[in-house]
Amino acid sequence: MLLAVDAGNTNIVFGIYKNQEWIAEWRYETLPIKNQMEYELFLRLQFLEANLKLEDVEAVVISSVVPQLNPILTEFSKPLIHRKPLFIEPKIFDQLPVRTLQPYQIGTDLLANAVAGFMHYKKNIIIIDFGTALTFTVVNAKGTVLGVSIAPGLKTAIKALVGNTAQLPDVPLELPDSKMGKNTTEAIQAGILWGYVSMIEGMLDKIEEELGYSSTVIATGGLSSILHPLHARFHKVDKNLTLEGLRLIHNLIRK
């Protein structure tokens, strides 16, 4: 049984892989930064509720884009599971089937996405990750990361608008039927969510125009299911793509 940990700017995702499938996934708020004991208690509770045993965990792999968390995440699993985790970092990138020209400037979550996408599809791909940031990672059929585009994520955009405006309400992430809201909440939903639909369609068109060829488009991230009109443009929606990339990297490095 493998424990994969994906620490992002909004949530830390813990995934359990067993018997050739992801059997559990738990999210824990990233900020404020917790201490080692809090992570241990959180995991113990989740394992108990899922009727899983900590002693069945054979390995731990960790990706983090939050530097303050790295020492805590590196150490927390040792007394809990008695395993030294594999921490994804640039020094191991040359052992992977995916290449990037800037190994110290790509997030380990994006690299995990690229590894999973390339190893599963072996073709030209564009991976769209709906997280705190909205990212487009372009990988060619040879496994080279050609580049990344980054925009504010959906929640980030709404929080920025609401947080800097005195009279706007909190807004649920629900795509309205109309592009023209009939009240303040619908107006924000229409502007941001339908705006992101158009932005993503436009970015895909511009990227493929620049590349000169079409690509397989894979969507991932916790918010990947919200903009459902885009699903016809996606070849695959895989919410576990990052965790799967961590698993594949672990297998390659430990082998």
Higher pLDDT, 222 or 225: 225
Residue 173 reports pLDDT greater than 90: no
Average pLDDT, the chain: 91
Condensed to tens digits (0 to 9), the pLDDT of residues 61-120 reads 999 999 999 888 888 877 777 778 899 999 999 999 999 988 889 999 999 999 999 999
For position 95, what pLDDT does the model report?
94
Of how many residues is the chain composed?
A: 255
Look at residue 74 in the predicted model and tell me its pLDDT. Answer: 82
Q: Tell me, letter by letter, the H, E, C secondary structure of 172-214.
A: CCCCCCCCCCCCHHHHHHHHHHHHHHHHHHHHHHHHHHHHCCC
Structural tokens at position 83:
């395993």
Q: Can you tell me the distance from the alpha carbon of 247 to that of 77, in angstroms, rounded to the nearest whole number?
A: 17
CATH class of 2-87: alpha beta
- With vertex at residue 219, the alpha carbon angle to CA 239 and CA 231, rounded to the nearest 5 degrees, is 110
Residue 222, pLDDT score: 76
Residue with the larger pLDDT of the pair 255 and 155:
155
Q: Which residues pair with 150 in a beta bridge?
A: 135
CB-based contacts of 59, cutoff 8 Å, min separation 6: 2, 3, 83, 85, 86, 250, 254
The catalytic residues are 109
Q: Which architecture characterizes domain 99-240 according to CATH? A: 2-Layer Sandwich (3.30)
At residue 172 the predicted structure's pLDDT band, cuts being 50, 70 and 90, is confident
pLDDT at 29: 92
What integer pLDDT is reported at residue 168 of this predicted model?
61
- ∠ at Cα 162 (180, 177), nearest 5°? 25
Are 139 and 146 in contact by the 8 Å Cβ rule? The answer is yes
Domain ranges of the chain: 2-87, 99-240
User: Tokens 């990037």, residue?
Assistant: 100
Report which DSSP code applies to 32: S
Q: Is the pLDDT of residue 48 over 70?
A: yes
Percent residues over pLDDT 90 in the chain: 70
**Residue 6 CA to its chain's centroid (Å):** 8
Mean pLDDT over 215-226 rounds to 90
**Which CA distances in Å does 170 have to 10, 27, 75, 184?**
17, 22, 37, 10
pLDDT number for residue 167: 59
Q: Is the pLDDT of residue 151 over 90?
A: yes
pLDDT classification of 235: cutoffs 50, 70, 90? very high
**pLDDT score at 119:** 97
Quick one: pLDDT band at residue 166, thresholds 50, 70, 90? low
Q: Which helix (H) or strand (E) holds 5?
A: strand 2-7
Tell me whether domains 2-87 and 99-240 share a fold: yes
Radius of gyration of the chain (CA): 19
Q: How far apart are CA 109 and CA 116, in angstroms?
A: 11
pTM: 0.92
pLDDT for 165 equals 61
Task: Supply the angle between the helices 70-81 and 36-49 in degrees, to the nearest 10.
Answer: 50
Give the H/E segment covering residue 100.
Answer: strand 99-100
DSSP label at residue 225: T
- Burial of residue 172, with CB atoms counted within 10 A of its CB: 0-12 exposed, 13-18 middle, 19 or more buried: exposed
Whether the ω angle into residue 152 lies within 30 degrees of 0, i.e. cis, is no
**Higher local confidence (pLDDT), 80 or 8:** 8
The amino acid at residue 62 is I
- The per-residue pLDDT for 210 is 98
